[in-house]
Structure 1
Amino acid sequence: RSFNVSLVAITMVITLIIMTISGNLVLSLGMVGALSIVRFRTPIKDPVDLVFIFWAITMGIANGVGYFNISIIGSVVMTIVLLFMTRKPEEEQPYLLVLQVPSTTDAAPIVKDIRKAVERFMLKSKTITPQYEEITAEVRLKGDDTSFLNILHEDKKILKATLITYSGDLSQV
């Protein structure tokens, strides 16, 4: 998502650069020199950070040349576009559900009941040992309703049921 935002934003920054240097050979050579000098001692992890660096350089050159109208309009438009594109819809917190059932118990009906109790259920792993079967799934709750976990704890066929909150980065692959 960050890379996609940076593609749109860098296009706008390049447009501002071209508008600033259009028709001025000296300014265009100066801009090439200024951009080629930029060296990063710290690795840039987020592409949007790179966009902000080039945006700052572009605005500095536009202001230095006296193109304040390009600088002001470009900054307003870039701000609106970046605010619009980086706004994320509020997502519900993902959880990992770790469930242990004896190997002699069929886990399918239990999983079926859990699927009904949660908004989303995605099986991540299944570990089978001679003593038990461990099921790990990513779940999204209906609201903040964790009452199904109490029902799982009361069920004698279930050895252990654990709900773990996590960032959800693994599921975004």
Structure 2
Amino acid sequence: MKIEKPGIKLLVLVPLIIVTIAIIIFIPMKEALVFQYQNTGKMLAYIPFSKEDHFKIKYTHSIHLSDVVESYVITEDEEIKQYELMYEDFAIGMPENASDGEIFEQKNGKYYIKNMNRIFPYFDLRTGKVRANHTVLFREKEYPLSHFIEPGTWVRIKAEKINLIQQLRGVNILEQS
């Protein structure tokens, strides 16, 4: 009859538990739309995201004071694709027509550029201080960025996988409303 020492099992089990915990904490697993402070990589806020999700950014144009809505989807390569633009006024800073392959429509006093295929690894945005009121539209709800990010802040918006530590440090926008 062989007698096993309990120390050998612990010697194998403890490192295995430590490695498992490290994987859970540090390996990026959750897909998210991330709002980073400038180009530092420091996450300010995020929205848990799946490949089927779309999001929009709505803001008030600084010159003609009407709403502009930019529509986006995350690609398979974790890039951001703008597929539509809606605005109410032709004026400074707004397109007068669609580019090649895009569709221009006027409907109910609003202008749409559809079928856009503008792909970005990320895009930068300075959140409005005065009247822009940048708002994320996600799953039919509105999330004003000023509730999570100080107005006037330069943010980098990108899609990436985040780990548990990043989730705990950043603000989950969906849980704050």
Report the TM-score, using the length of structure 1 for normalisation: 0.28
Bigger proportion of residues as helix:
1
Larger Rg: 1
* TM-score w.r.t. length of structure 2: 0.27
Greater RCO, CA 8 A, separation 6+: 2
Greater share of strand residues, 1 or 2?
2
